[in-house]
A and B are shown apart, each in its own frame.
Chain A
Amino acid sequence: MKEELKKALSVSKGDFTEIRLEKEFRTNIIYEKDNLTSLDSSVEFGGIVRTLVENSWGIATFNSVDDLKSKVNQAYQIGKASATFKGEPVRLADVNTYQTKIYQNLKEDFRAVPLEKKRKILEDYNTIILDFDDEIESSKVAYSDSYRELTFVNSEGAYIEQEIPDITLALVAVARSTDSNIQVYHDSIGESAGFEEVVDRQTMAEHVAAKAIELLNAKPVDGGSYSVLLNPKLAGVFIHEAFGHLCEADHFYKNTRLQEVMKLGKKFGPEELNVVDDGYIEGRRGNTKFDDEGVPRQKTYLIKNGKLNSFLHSRETAAKMNQRPTGNGRAVSYRHEPIVRMTNTYIENGEASWEELLSSIEKGIYAQDAYGGQTQLEQFTFSAGYGQLINDGQVGPMVRDVVLTGNIFKTLNNIRAIGNDLKIIGSAGGCGKGGQFPLPVTDGSPHIIIDNLTVGGR
């Protein structure tokens, strides 16, 4: 294939051309209550050509690789046709070119695990949830694995073969009381690892069932402003939404007004706050040893000592802003071009112990686990799986429907304390941006306290 790719590149009339091919092996299995509602084992093949023609990108995606040269030409024609409309020139930041192959050595390669074994393990978790209590009404247990083989080549001489394994397990319990109160609880894991990650998760199944039952008796949270103690999972989602997205340079590389808001060195949080995006942490879903532009991973401090320290870049945004590429040009699949994305994003450890954190809160909420979050860049929300009221440093009764909202110009500055128990957590699902979903990422944080956080509620 290497020779064919080189030949295809050689016919390109563009100023710069790259080709990315992908072969994906994947399995999806879903149980919903007593039904095996999805069981899919498939192979997919496709590719994308991106070429720069007189300052304009032409892009072609395809499934058949029989005639790569014609795809290269197609991308060129599209770029050529749009070049007349183009404004400012596109430049790409200079990078070293690599010729390398990155193979994976999984402990238990899920491609070799029989379907029946995968199904059986799910059935077991499903049974644990359904049999947990009479008030468990329904369940959903979802497994996915994916093994992507990527080949990247560009006209500057890069040639990178990469294997990317990904495995997820999501468990959902639905509890229903006699008065038709329906409560849901879920938990999930997601790693760039082998089948061993999803075995022996019986406790996780028991945990989601128990929490769903507990939620039946929880009161909805009263809306208002609280001191909120976030557990590592929720704090990870918080930093992803609250700050990670804002650091993606494609939001503002052409937007001078937003650049004024996002000035390097501007203080966003307390001195103790350090936020990192790291393209490689052993076993993590967000890993991108080389991004989809062939740029090697990097550890980037987004916030250092409370101040905006660096952005996340693709080659194009880096060139435009006269900065260095950070290896964050990622594409969710061969159907898309790379855009600026996070990888593994987390808040570094502070100094406070768990006891110190808890005892410092007179009245507040201990918000735990996460449904997800969303940002509009200034305002953002993130949803907890559940919360517990805190009174005089003591954790009290459970509350439900805990959805928090913050504002980029205030909320990070309201981080009052940072714990010393950093956890980086991989979960199922992923991040969505610009129509590309779900991109595997991980988030993490120690426990943190944020004051004056608005919580929605009735």
Chain B
Amino acid sequence: MKLLERSTNRADSAEVFRISSKSIPVKFTSGELESVKSYDTTGVALRLIKEGKLGFSTTTYMNDLDEIVDKAIEASTIGEKVSFQFPTPNKTATTTTFDPEVEKVKADELIGLGQGVIKDLHNYDQALSVDVSLKRSISNIEIRNSNGLHREERRSGISISVEVQQIDSNDIFSLNESVRFQTRDQLDLSTLLNRTKKKLKWAREKTNLENGNYPVIFTPKGLVVLLLPLIVGFDGMNVFQGASPLGGKLDQKIFAENFSLRDGGVIADSPSKRSFDDEGIPADSKQLIANGVINTFLHDLRSASLLKARPTGNGIKGGLIGDSDFRNMPNANPTSMAINPGHKTLGKIIANVDKGLLVDQVLGLGQGNVLSGEFSNNVNVAYKIDKGAIAGRVKNTMIAGNVYDLLQGPVTLSQEPLWVNGIKTPAVGVDGVSVIQK
């Protein structure tokens, strides 16, 4: 690879990240096909270290690669002094991240899938407005550095999201569900459709819940309310800077005994598997929380070197649980996550609640003091639990609490985990969430 040589000639060490991806997004609006797209991306990101200082630049313009070297060198002259080095070659088993059958999926098959979703939901209720987005993506990631590391991987994926809207005069109810598959044989829309219909059924009645503190069960989808502050809290950089409340609490038990959380690109049956992170470190599975005890934080090369810890394979060039975007520098972010399930069905957990909420979807996620663990959200999809049964949908209702208080326990976990947005989680019940309706 010429770019790496050219860079190494002008710097102490260098790393080249290359991505080329082809995806086909298909969009249906209000039950009609809106657009089909062919989405090609080729991008290169260059990191180099010169006189101990880091420089970075990216480009999509492959005809003039001297420019990116010039820019990265210029950046390094005023760059941060770093104490890490690009990793040397590592021997780790790779996981299966690519299915040639997914590559064979063309636009017409996606369109057919979308039509099937719309037909099924219209059979349930003809008046629903249904939007469907489908995307098949194939990307090739290659990382090379001047310490001899060379890793390359193809990753495939099919993602499907559905948004249904139910409108009566002065009432708009919308609900969305999404699912992702990495291989062709995982592709199955029945659970997505059943989930959607069950939630629509629950929403038939509208009801109220008086202001007060209640037990709240978060569905796998709704649990992101509690997980977002944790993800930010486990970010090694936030720990290093004292901005995480988890800093200094390694090996301490600060969560409920039955609460365990893992992260890793190789977690079995993850729909977004990867063998290595965006710095070439193996994306091994590791326990972040083991039976309530903090076991490790998430590290990229930088945060690991600053905290004198080992990199955990979490140097990700993207947002939270997002696809890698070559334009970003790597940061300590999760790959795939999993929460250990419990031993009761969701139905049984609901049956044990006298009065409370089942929360599936909120507005304003992350728009507040996430670091401290505080949340305060409108629950735009939530159901009142009354005497052990779902009593209907609530509206114009806010929940508020602190994640770190609530997850101290008691925590109830359902036995049916589900993959949502790269996280495999059961429904999780906590006690003492403030509910405000007016």
Binding site for B on A (CB under 8 A): 32-33, 35-46, 56-64, 74-75, 78-79, 81-82, 85-88, 115-116, 119, 137-138, 174, 176, 180-184, 220, 223-225, 250, 254-255, 257-258, 260-261, 335, 337, 371-383, 400-401, 403, 405, 407, 409, 435, 452, 454-458
Convert B351-377 into 0s and 1s, putting 1 for each residue whose CB lies closer than 8 angstroms to a CB of A: 000000000000111011101101011
Q: Does B193 make an interface contact (CB < 8 A)?
A: no
Is B367 a contact of A458 with CB atoms below 8 Å? no
Q: Which residues of the other chain, A, contact B32 by a CB distance below 8 angstroms?
A: 86-88, 254
Q: Which residues of the other chain, B, contact A225 by a CB distance below 8 angstroms?
A: 438
Is B57 a contact of A42 with CB atoms below 8 Å? yes
Q: Does B165 make an interface contact (CB < 8 A)?
A: yes
Is A40 a contact of B75 with CB atoms below 8 Å? yes
Pick from A38, A62, A87, A375: contact of B329, CB under 8 Å: A38
Q: Does B191 make an interface contact (CB < 8 A)?
A: no
Q: Does B55 make an interface contact (CB < 8 A)?
A: yes
Q: Which residues of the other chain, A, contact B174 by a CB distance below 8 angstroms?
A: 376-377
Q: Which residues of the other chain, B, contact A182 by a CB distance below 8 angstroms?
A: 243, 245, 369, 371-372
Q: How far is the CB of B48 from chain A (nearest CB, A)?
A: 12
Pick from B33, B240, B306: contact of A85, CB under 8 Å: B33
Q: Which residues of the other chain, A, contact B108 by a CB distance below 8 angstroms?
A: 81-82, 85
Is A379 a contact of B327 with CB atoms below 8 Å? no
Is B243 a contact of A137 with CB atoms below 8 Å? yes
Q: Which residues of the other chain, B, contact A337 by a CB distance below 8 angstroms?
A: 35, 37
Q: How far is the CA of A115 from the CA of B72 in the complex (A)?
A: 11
Pick from A42, A181, A220, A381: contact of B59, CB under 8 Å: A42
Residue of A nearest to B57 (CB): A42
Pick from A41, A184, A260, A335: contact of B369, CB under 8 Å: A184
Is A223 a contact of B167 with CB atoms below 8 Å? no
Residue of A nearest to B212 (CB): A223
Is B40 a contact of A61 with CB atoms below 8 Å? yes
Convert B330-369 into 0s and 1s, putting 1 for each residue whose CB lies closer than 8 angstroms to a CB of A: 0100000000000000000000000000000001110111
Q: Does B78 make an interface contact (CB < 8 A)?
A: yes
Convert B423-438 into 0s and 1s, putting 1 for each residue whose CB lies closer than 8 angstroms to a CB of A: 0000000000010111
Is B400 a contact of A458 with CB atoms below 8 Å? yes
Is B35 a contact of A57 with CB atoms below 8 Å? yes
Q: Which residues of the other chain, B, contact A376 by a CB distance below 8 angstroms?
A: 172, 174, 363, 380
Is A183 a contact of B369 with CB atoms below 8 Å? yes
Q: Does B287 make an interface contact (CB < 8 A)?
A: no
Q: Does B170 make an interface contact (CB < 8 A)?
A: yes
Q: Does B125 make an interface contact (CB < 8 A)?
A: no
Is A372 a contact of B61 with CB atoms below 8 Å? no
Extra pairs beyond A137-B242, A174-B371, A456-B399 (13, CB < 8 Å):
A35-B80, A39-B79, A39-B80, A40-B57, A41-B74, A60-B38, A64-B42, A220-B374, A258-B167, A335-B39, A372-B364, A378-B172, A379-B363
Is B33 a contact of A86 with CB atoms below 8 Å? yes
Residue of A nearest to B81 (CB): A36
Given A260-B169, A403-B377, A454-B438, verify A78-B38 contact (CB < 8 Å). Answer: yes
Pick from A46, A78, A260, A381: contact of B107, CB under 8 Å: A78
Q: How far is the CB of B424 from chain A (nearest CB, A)?
A: 24
Q: Which residues of the other chain, A, contact B55 by a CB distance below 8 angstroms?
A: 39
Q: List 27 A-B contacts (CB under 8 A).
A: A33-B241, A39-B55, A39-B80, A42-B59, A42-B71, A42-B327, A56-B35, A58-B37, A60-B38, A63-B61, A75-B38, A78-B38, A81-B106, A137-B243, A182-B245, A183-B372, A223-B398, A224-B211, A254-B32, A258-B129, A372-B367, A373-B364, A382-B364, A403-B367, A403-B377, A454-B396, A456-B378
